[in-house]
Amino acid sequence: MNNKFKIIGVLLMFALCSCRLAEKVPAKRAVVDIEDDWRLGIQTWTFRNFTFYEAIDKTAELGLSWIEACSFQPLRKQEPVMRMHYSMPAEIRNEVKEKLKESGVRLVNYYVDRVPDQEAECRKLFDFARDMGIETIVSEPKEEAFDLIEKLCKEYKIKLAIHNHPKPSYYWDPEKVLSVCEGRSEWIGACADTGHWMRSGVNPVEAMKKLEGRVVSLHLKDVNESGNRQAQDVVWGSGKADVAAILAELNRQNFKGVFSIEYERKQEDPMADVAGCIKYFDDVSSKLGHKYWRRLFNGKDLTGWITKPGSWLVEPNGVLFGKGLAGKGLTDIWTEEKFGDFILDLEFKLAPKTNSGVFLRTGDINAFLHTAIEVQILDSYGREELTKENCGAIFDCLAPSKNMVKKPGEWNRYIITCKANKIYVVLNGEQVIDMDLNLWTESHKNPDGTGNKFDTAYKDMPRAGNIGLQYHGHPVWFRNIKVKRLD
């Protein structure tokens, strides 16, 4: 064989190997679900005058998605003796999980006043935590129990965070927490209660520095004075704890975890003060570069939305229902706020033959057809043909890669990402759209040569605008509507 043919053979073999390697490299996928590196939630002791179910509702109303439960809080009004305790039977656990799911709130941490020091009983706590999807158990265990605790933490892959009550409690001094953690795995750490540190005369920023690498979660507080066990909680940023400096220090440490709002001031209902804490956290954390999910729909009323009165209703279970207005044609609903680069996460439910949609970056709500991108919602359950009208499509422009919509009456979930010229759509856990707007260079024409109805080329569509939900003559329901800005 001469050199020419040898070279050709080598090139062919190289090309073949390259193709095989390329086949093994997974395609880039859009985010199917996303969690914040900083997650802001509620420690339900904040709502100790209410049941756990009411605390879930209040957490959702505040626009938060995360919660830390107390083992001793009454579960529900019907049975005040029933507690949110790890000993609850399986059928009650399932009811709690359904309540959390319906509310769009995730139980991530669990405070228990005592971790059992007998393995059989301790396993019941860890079994409960695993069943409920809990990431971290928060408590103040006996020091001699940590060999057992660490063993179970590793086995169950659940963390234990040591909480500090004020002096003279056993763990009031961060040095004691640090000494207990010394030599132990990453599954053992601290739940830093900044308010209780202040009440003990401990500077929270200095305590954070001592515990660097061991802070698992926080009970974040601001109080009106230092060194006084009776110091009162105040709205973050208005007290003596210097919450901005605490957050800056955690940012320096590259902390990733849960901030639980635990408001201990004696109030019948501290909702207004908690909302003030959230606003302060929003402002400071955004300046530090941390962005997180917030709710677009509060589950109570249409605050923050634009629509014709009576066309959209809020049902008692916090679901947004589109019913339209007789004789008024299409009746849509729009966010007052405008968004550019973002991730939108929502659930929707269809009736038979329902046709609806989600509008993105709407430049003019009075001319939405030609100034917005529509992600189709349609009762296309069971259809084999994938068309530009199926559920999951970019309407009239790009068909979904799979038909993932559920049958009418079941809840579906969209996660829609808009980033510059890219649009990704995930429907019920599967990516169905990967769209490059810049490929749509002409009005009324798709890159595959087919036509569409839009006067504007998609590459020229606005890159920021209102988010909208469509009423197209059929009942449609939405819930758990939240957004994370990426710009």
Instruction: Report pLDDT digits (tens) over 272-286.
Output: 999 899 989 988 998
What pLDDT, on a 0 to 100 scale, did the predictor assign at position 16? Answer: 39
Tell whether the model's pLDDT for residue 360 goes beyond 70.
yes
Confidence of residue 65 (pLDDT cuts 50, 70, 90): confident
What pLDDT, on a 0 to 100 scale, did the predictor assign at position 292? Answer: 73
Average pLDDT of span 313-332:
82
What pLDDT, on a 0 to 100 scale, did the predictor assign at position 259? Answer: 96
> Which letter does DSSP use for residue 458 in this model?
G
Percent residues over pLDDT 70 in the chain: 92
Closest by alpha carbon to 332, among 362, 295, 296, 353? 362
All structural domains of the chain, each given as residue ranges with its CATH number in brackets, are 38-295 (3.20.20.150), 305-485 (2.60.120.560)
Q: Is 123 exposed, middle or buried (0-12, 13-18, 19+ CB in 10 A)?
A: middle
Tell whether the model's pLDDT for residue 436 goes beyond 90.
yes
Average pLDDT of span 188-217:
98
DSSP string, 138-151: EE---GGGHHHHHH
Cα–Cα–Cα angle for 393, 399, 405, rounded to 5 degrees: 50
Average pLDDT of span 451-470:
96
Task: Say how far apart CA 307 and CA 323 lie, in whole Å.
Answer: 12
What pLDDT, on a 0 to 100 scale, did the predictor assign at position 202? Answer: 98
Tell whether the model's pLDDT for residue 10 goes beyond 70.
no
The two beta strands, 159-163 and 476-485, are unpaired
Task: Say how far apart CA 414 and CA 298 lie, in whole Å.
Answer: 18
Residue pair 359/462 in contact by the 8 Å Cβ criterion: no
Residue pair 479/320 in contact by the 8 Å Cβ criterion: yes
What pLDDT, on a 0 to 100 scale, did the predictor assign at position 328? Answer: 66
Residue 414 CB neighbour total at 10 angstroms: 21
Task: Say how far apart CA 133 and CA 50 lie, in whole Å.
Answer: 23
Residue pair 217/238 in contact by the 8 Å Cβ criterion: no
Average pLDDT of span 54-80:
90
Residue pair 220/194 in contact by the 8 Å Cβ criterion: yes
What pLDDT, on a 0 to 100 scale, did the predictor assign at position 104? Answer: 78
Q: Is 210 exposed, middle or buried (0-12, 13-18, 19+ CB in 10 A)?
A: middle
Percent residues over pLDDT 90 in the chain: 77
Task: Say how far apart CA 109 and CA 107 lie, in whole Å.
Answer: 6
What pLDDT, on a 0 to 100 scale, did the predictor assign at position 56? Answer: 93
Tell whether the model's pLDDT for residue 110 goes beyond 80.
yes
Tell whether the model's pLDDT for residue 15 goes beyond 70.
no
> Which letter does DSSP use for residue 424 in this model?
E
- Between 39 and 15, whose confidence is greater? 39
Average pLDDT of the chain to the nearest whole number = 90
Which CA distances in Å does 94 have to 90, 133, 316, 324? 6, 12, 22, 35
What pLDDT, on a 0 to 100 scale, did the predictor assign at position 454? Answer: 96
User: In this structure, what token pair is assigned to residue 444?
Assistant: 């009324």
In terms of average pLDDT, the best of 102-111, 290-299, 441-450 is 441-450
Question: What Rg, from alpha-carbon coordinates, does the chain have?
Answer: 26
Task: Say how far apart CA 376 and CA 393 lie, in whole Å.
Answer: 5
Whole-prediction pTM value? 0.74
What pLDDT, on a 0 to 100 scale, did the predictor assign at position 228? Answer: 96
Instruction: Report pLDDT digits (tens) over 115-135.
Output: 998 999 999 999 999 999 999
Task: Say how far apart CA 161 and CA 191 lie, in whole Å.
Answer: 5
Confidence of residue 241 (pLDDT cuts 50, 70, 90): very high
The gap from C-alpha 435 to its chain's centroid, in whole angstroms, comes to 24
What pLDDT, on a 0 to 100 scale, did the predictor assign at position 34? Answer: 55
